[in-house]
Structures are given as structure tokens and as C-alpha cells.
């Protein structure tokens, strides 16, 4: 499985200079994909096949590895792009923002206690180390509030005291400055701090705020208001992904969408098909065959009120279904993910993917 960070963070160096970043985990074994037919065969025999495959591989000493990459972009709004770099529905083309290798993660042992080492893991987008910061990615800001609240409810208010969630290599563990609450088993006290005082300022040796480190983000001016992204460019990135898919990936995608959209109401079918034609002629044509509709049947539809069309999108709409779209992946270069996707069968999954030549 490939890991894509979705959200945009910032990196901050010692001088306080900031850049925008996106993170990626690329499995050295590549990605394995099942068709819906093959997935049904697997699920009928082993509903936990993925966990079993991972566990068994580690037990055999065939430790799975993921390479960790980062894409870096200057920290400003990039008016030269026709899409917003903080839009979570967009990728950063690898040919424009190359992947930089930061390290490798190796899973070299299975957990000894599934509950303590697995079930109690409390992930959160707001758990940062020095040198990382939040961007103005709207989804990231929302998730950062909600994830921590979720873990306090799911695990408990002192979840950061649990060994699996406590930072490694940090004296005293997590510094939450929280007292009491369910399942509290320690007080995080700073060196020289009065253990009876957990506020600042205090003349009796309470907390002292850590020294601030440089952070010089770009200066932004304007009206602060809730607003939609201006550069949505809804179809370009989807077109790039469709064109750079393997042929069998496109076949399965079309079949899945075609079968599902048959169950929708006619007006939903038409709008959905309209979007697909806006992405690519071939995409709309092939899915349209499942519901007996063509570009002529949806040509009358106007853009949704919330959509802001680019000049290119307006031209595509005028020539809906006749935009002479090619399926030449070479035109896109290193636009989308460079991870190899392998089509596998139910039999291969059930016998263990470690047995496949490509995964070694």
C-alpha cells in the first residue's frame, strides 16, 4: 500500500525560513491491486488477508520497507500555477516538484501485545516535532482540532502518557502540563519546576515557556473571510491520472463506475457523466455505454454554481465529448505517482504476496 500525506505542511529551518511540503511513503514491493471479482473471492475465504500477509512476512524475516519522500515548494501562493497548492484534491506533479528521499521505514518485528502497542496508538495531524509547522491548508487545520479530541474521547485524556504514544528520546516523555483525569499515572515536570504549580507566570517556580525559535512565514494581507478556493481546476489532475493509469486499471475503473452509476437516478447519472466528459473523452464515452448515454445527452448541463472554470475548461465544455483527448501517458511525464501497481489474483493473495517475484 502506498502512503500519500494529502495535507500540506511546512518545514522550518534554524533561520526560520519556511517551505511547503507534501510527504509520501512508497512501498519497495510496489502496490498490489485486486479487481472487485478477485476481491470477492478473497473476502469469502479470509477477511483478514492483509493483516495476515503483513504478520507472516515479518515472522519470516522478510521485513517490508517503505521509502519516505518529500516534495518541496516555496512558501507563497504560487500564482504561476493554475491550481491551488493547498487544495487537498490536487497532487503536486512529480516532474515539477521532484520527490526527495528522506529515509526508509522497516517493519522488523510484530507487536507483542496487540492492545497496548496497536489499538491504543493515537495518531493526530497536530503532533509535530521541531522543524515542522502547519500550512494554511484548510482541511489540515480542521483535522488538527478534531483528531486530538477524537483520541481524548477514544483512548482517554492522558493518551500521550501511554508508552506507544509518548515521544522517544525525550527526557520525561510527553510534556502536556495536564493534571489528573482518567488513568493518569504521572506528572510531566520540567527541570527545576515546582511539581505543585502547572501554570505560568508564577513566583513559586511554575512552568516557564520554552525559548521561541525563528519562524518567518511569508507576509499576507487582505480581507479575512470564509471563502472557496479560487483556483480549483477540477479536471486537469483527474485527466492526468486517467491517462497515466495502466490499461487494466482504466478497464476496472470504468467497469466499477459504470456498474454503480446504473443504480443512480437519471439526473445524477447525467451530471456524473458530464463530469467524466470534462475529464476525458474516453472516460465519459466508456462509462456512458453502461447507462446508454452520450455527450449529446448531457451537453445541455451548465457548470455547477460553485465551480469557477478556467479558460481551458470553458473550451472543453464547448466541445464536450469531442476534445480529441489522447491516452498517451508520455505526454504527462512524471505527473502522477511513480509507484508501480501490480494486478494480482485472489489465489496469489491467499497464498501470501511474499511469494510473488516482484515483492522480493
Average pLDDT score over residue span 6-33: 94
- At residue 303's C-alpha, the angle toward residues 299 and 308, to 5°, is 145
Q: Residue 6 above 50 pLDDT?
A: yes
In this structure, is the dihedral angle defined by the CA atoms of residues 294, 295, 301 and 304, taken in order, positive or negative? positive
**pLDDT: is 345 or 228 the higher one?**
345
Q: Residue 99 above 80 pLDDT?
A: yes
Tell which phi-psi region holds residue 121, choosing left (phi > 0), alpha (psi between -120 and 50) or beta: beta
pLDDT confidence bin for 262, thresholds 50/70/90: very high
Task: Choose the most confident range, by mean pLDDT, from 21-30, 158-167, 351-360.
Answer: 21-30
**pLDDT: is 356 or 255 the higher one?**
255
Task: Choose the most confident range, by mean pLDDT, from 87-96, 145-154, 254-263, 340-349.
Answer: 254-263
Average pLDDT score over residue span 125-134: 90
Query: Strand (E) positions, the chain?
Result: 3-4, 9-12, 18-27, 31-33, 65-74, 100-106, 132-134, 341-343
Q: Residue 35 above 80 pLDDT?
A: yes
pLDDT at 182: 86
The three-state secondary structure class of 268 is helix
Count of positions (residues) in the chain: 360
pLDDT confidence bin for 129, thresholds 50/70/90: confident
Tell me which of 150-154, 172-176, 181-185, 340-344 is least confident: 172-176
In this structure, is the dihedral angle defined by the CA atoms of residues 269, 270, 274 and 280, taken in order, positive or negative? positive
**What does the mean pLDDT of the chain come to?**
90
pLDDT at 126: 87
pLDDT confidence bin for 356, thresholds 50/70/90: low
Please report which residue ranges of the chain form alpha helices under DSSP H: 36-43, 49-59, 114, 138-154, 236-244, 247-261, 266-279, 281-291, 295-298, 311-318, 346-351
Average pLDDT score over residue span 34-47: 92
Q: Residue 335 above 80 pLDDT?
A: no
Helices and strands per DSSP (H, E), number in the chain: 11, 8
Residues 6+ apart with CB under 8 A from 109: 58
pLDDT at 134: 95
pLDDT at 27: 92
Domains of the chain: 3-161 (2.40.180.10), 236-337 (1.20.1370)
pLDDT at 357: 56
Average pLDDT score over residue span 185-212: 82
Q: Residue 286 above 90 pLDDT?
A: yes
Average pLDDT score over residue span 125-145: 91
pLDDT at 359: 47
Q: Residue 61 above 90 pLDDT?
A: yes
Average pLDDT score over residue span 73-85: 91
Tell me which of 169-173, 180-184, 236-240, 297-301 is least confident: 169-173
Average pLDDT score over residue span 58-62: 93
Average pLDDT score over residue span 146-160: 91
The span from the CA of 333 to the CA of 232, in Å, is: 22
Amino acid at each position: 500500500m502506498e502512503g500519500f500525506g494529502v495535507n500540506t505542511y511546512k518545514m522550518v529551518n534554524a533561520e526560520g525560513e519556511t517551505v511547503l511540503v507534501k510527504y509520501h511513503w512508497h512501498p519497495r514491493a510496489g502496490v498490489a491491486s485486486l479487481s472487485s471479482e478477485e476481491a470477492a473471492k478473497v473476502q469469502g475465504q479470509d477477511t483478514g488477508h492483509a493483516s495476515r500477509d503483513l504478520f507472516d512476512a515479518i515472522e519470516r524475516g522478510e521485513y517490508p520497507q517503505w521509502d519516505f519522500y518529500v516534495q518541496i515548494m516555496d512558501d507563497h501562493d504560487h500564482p504561476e500555477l493554475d491550481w491551488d497548492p493547498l487544495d487537498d484534491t490536487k497532487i503536486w506533479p512529480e516532474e515539477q516538484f521532484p520527490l526527495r528521499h528522506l529515509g526508509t521505514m522497516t517493519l522488523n518485528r510484530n507487536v507483542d501485545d496487540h492492545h497496548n502497542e496497536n489499538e491504543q496508538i493515537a495518531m493526530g495531524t497536530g503532533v509535530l516535532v521541531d522543524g515542522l509547522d502547519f500550512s494554511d491548508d484548510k482541511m489540515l487545520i480542521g483535522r488538527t482540532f478534531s483528531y486530538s479530541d477524537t483520541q481524548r474521547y477514544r483512548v482517554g485524556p492522558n493518551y500521550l502518557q501511554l508508552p506507544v504514544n509518548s515521544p522517544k528520546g525525550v527526557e520525561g516523555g510527553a510534556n502536556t502540563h495536564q493534571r489528573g483525569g482518567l488513568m493518569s499515572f504521572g506528572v510531566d515536570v520540567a527541570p527545576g519546576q515546582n511539581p505543585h504549580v502547572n501554570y505560568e507566570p508564577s513566583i513559586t517556580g511554575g512552568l516557564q515557556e520554552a525559548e521561541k525559535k525563528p519562524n518567518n512565514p511569508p507576509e499576507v494581507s487582505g480581507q479575512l473571510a470564509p471563502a472557496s478556493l479560487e483556483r480549483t481546476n477540477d479536471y486537469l489532475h483527474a485527466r492526468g491520472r486517467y491517462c497515466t493509469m495502466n490499461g487494466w486499471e482504466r478497464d476496472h475503473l470504468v467497469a466499477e463506475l459504470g456498474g454503480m452509476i446504473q443504480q443512480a437516478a437519471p439526473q445524477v447519472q447525467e451530471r456524473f457523466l458530464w463530469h467524466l466528459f470534462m475529464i476525458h473523452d474516453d472516460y465519459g464515452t466508456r462509462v456512458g455505454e453502461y447507462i446508454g448515454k452520450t455527450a449529446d445527452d448531457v451537453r445541455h448541463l451548465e457548470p455547477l454554481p460553485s465551480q469557477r472554470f478556467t479558460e481551458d475548461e470553458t473550451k472543453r465544455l464547448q466541445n464536450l465529448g469531442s476534445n480529441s483527448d489522447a491516452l498517451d501517458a508520455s505526454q504527462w511525464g512524471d505527473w502522477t505517482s511513480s509507484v508501480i501497481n501490480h494486478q494480482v489474483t485472489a489465489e496469489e493473495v491467499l497464498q501470501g504476496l511474499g511469494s510473488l517475484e516482484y515483492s522480493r
